[in-house]
Every structure is written in structure tokens, then in C-alpha cells.
Chains A and B, each alone.
Chain A
Amino acid sequence: MLTDYLWAFLVGGAICAIGQVLIDYTKLTPARILVSYVVIGVILGGLGVYQPLLDFAGAGASIPLTGFGALLAKGVKEAVAEQGLFGVFSGGLTASAAGIAVAIFAALLTALLAKSKDKS
């Protein structure tokens, strides 16, 4: 049980540390890093490499944005197995629907209620 948390910390931390290396040593902007992480997650998920990492590190693999990409790939794979061609288009968003809807609604609610501090 405690080792689960240790691996979540180590794997999640390592994935973030790689992102920091990219920020410090390349000219990649945060937006490019997020896009790259999702696409890499889809590729690793599609290749079947990410699932073992998820089984092993739990939230350490699912919370970083690569986990979002892997979830898209997993959704597509399952939907294609059940529905064929239709699943190509329905699978990704079906699997990630709850997270996306929560993020959109939470962003709307927060923006309506909160005041942005001046960034000047």
C-alpha cells in the first residue's frame, strides 16, 4: 500500500521532471509541452507500453497529461473492438468525457465567481 504511493510519487515526479528539462534546455513553450505530452500518451497507449506503467504506478501515470493521451487511445481501442469504424471517432471522447466536462464547467464557474488579479 505504502509502496503504491512511493511509486506514484517517483513515476509522476519523473514525468514532470522530464517536462522541466524540456522547459530549461529547449525552446519548447508550455503549450507545446502539453500538446506533446498528450500526443506521446496516445502513441505510448497505442503501442501498449503505457498500460503496464498505469498498473504499476497508478496515479503517477494517470495524473500527468500523458495519462490523458493514453486514456484517449484506450477508449478508441475498446470502442473499435465493439463498434468498428464508428468507434474510431466515438472512443476517445467517450472515455475522457467526464474529465473534459468537469474541466469546462469548473473553468466557467471559477471565472464567473473569481476575480483575476492584475498581471501587470
Chain B
Amino acid sequence: MTAKEYQSAAGKAIPHSKAARNIPTAFVVGGLLCVIGQAIIDLALFYGLEKDVASACGSISLIILSALLTGFNVYDNIAKYAGAGTLVPITGFANSMVSPAMEFKSEGYILGLGAKMFSIAGPVLVYGISASVIYGLILVLMGG
């Protein structure tokens, strides 16, 4: 194998072996975060909260956990290995707000911290809420 052939073969192999490690890691970390959420929901149900409220408690607790871990610079370190496992759960959404808010605090409290907090969460809210409004309009047009 010439050096050039090796280069191209290695180039093909690297992303695959990386994906072979990344995907199970994302699965396990994401799954574990959901298990923590489920434990909090079950605890809330045990204390007699309604199902919807208990479900919200699970999300809220994970958001606070994510903010704490991001504040101690732990979440971003886990995220380097877990990829989508820490991105896709609600903790990733919270991290996407906390992390830039911390980083851009030095640029001021209004246009730094306050604005940069929404650099990813903003688009998520824009398109999520707009999609839900379109869905609502369809419901109304179909006669509610």
C-alpha cells in the first residue's frame, strides 16, 4: 500500500470507527439522562402530583442539574464525549443557554449575557412555537 492509498483508506476508516464509538456513547448517556428524569417523575407522582406536573418536574429538575453542571464546567466536558447524548435531551437545551451566557458575560449583561443566552435557544423557540401556531391554525380551520 502506498502512502497515498493508506491516506485515503485511513480517511475512510476514521469517521466510521469514530461513529462506531460515538453512537453507542450517545445512546447510553442520553438513555441515562432519561432514566434520571423518570426517577424524578416517579418521585413527584409518589408525592401525589398530577401526571402533567410530575412530567414537568422531571424536565425542570434536569434543566437545573444541567445549569449546575455547566456552571462548574462539567457538562461541556461530558458533551465532548457524549455528543448528541448530551445535546438532544432537555439538558442540552439548558446547556445551550447557560454556556454562552457565561462565556459572553464579559461583553455586558444586556447584549452579552442576556442576548447570547438565546443564540441557540432563540431559534429553537422561534421554529418550535411557530410550528405549534401553524398546527393550531390547522385545527381551527378544521373546526377545532
Within 8 A of B (CB), among A48-76: 57-60, 62-65, 67-69, 72-73, 75-76
Which of chain A's residues has its CB closest to B66's CB? A106
CA distance A65 to B66 in the complex (A): 14
CA distance A86 to B44 in the complex (A): 32
Chain A residues within an 8 Å CB radius of B121: 103
Q: How many pairs of A and B residues are in contact by the CB < 8 Å rule? A: 272
B68 to A: closest C-beta gap in Å? 7
A62 to B: closest C-beta gap in Å? 5
B42 to A: closest C-beta gap in Å? 8
Q: Chain B interface mostly helix, strand, loop or mixed?
A: helix
Residue tally, chain B, CB below 8 Å to A: 77
CA distance A54 to B135 in the complex (A): 19
Taking a contact as CB atoms closer than 8 A, the residue among A15, A41, A116 that contacts B102 in the complex is A116
Interface contact B85-A20, CB-CB below 8 Å: yes
**Given A59-B38, A80-B144, are A103 and B83 neighbors across the interface (CB < 8 Å)?**
no
Interface contact B102-A65, CB-CB below 8 Å: no
Interface contact A102-B64, CB-CB below 8 Å: yes
**Given A21-B23, A22-B84, are A16 and B71 neighbors across the interface (CB < 8 Å)?**
no
CA distance A38 to B6 in the complex (A): 42
Interface contact B136-A116, CB-CB below 8 Å: no
Interface contact B128-A38, CB-CB below 8 Å: yes
Q: Chain A interface mostly helix, strand, loop or mixed?
A: helix
Chain B residues within an 8 Å CB radius of A99: 56, 59-60, 63, 90
Taking a contact as CB atoms closer than 8 A, the residue among B67, B73, B137 that contacts A88 in the complex is B137
CA distance A117 to B89 in the complex (A): 24
Interface contact B87-A34, CB-CB below 8 Å: yes
**Given A24-B18, A34-B124, are A64 and B133 neighbors across the interface (CB < 8 Å)?**
no
Interface contact A63-B103, CB-CB below 8 Å: no
Interface contact B94-A103, CB-CB below 8 Å: yes
Within 8 A of A (CB), among B47-94: 55-56, 58-60, 62-64, 67-68, 70-73, 83-85, 87-94
Residues of A within 8 A of B (CB): 4-5, 8-25, 30-31, 33-35, 37-39, 41-43, 45-46, 57-60, 62-65, 67-69, 72-73, 75-77, 79-81, 84-85, 87-89, 91-93, 98-100, 102-104, 106-117, 119
Listed from nearest, the 9 A-B pairs whose CB atoms lie closest are: A16-B30, A12-B34, A13-B31, A19-B84, A88-B136, A59-B37, A20-B26, A111-B101, A114-B71
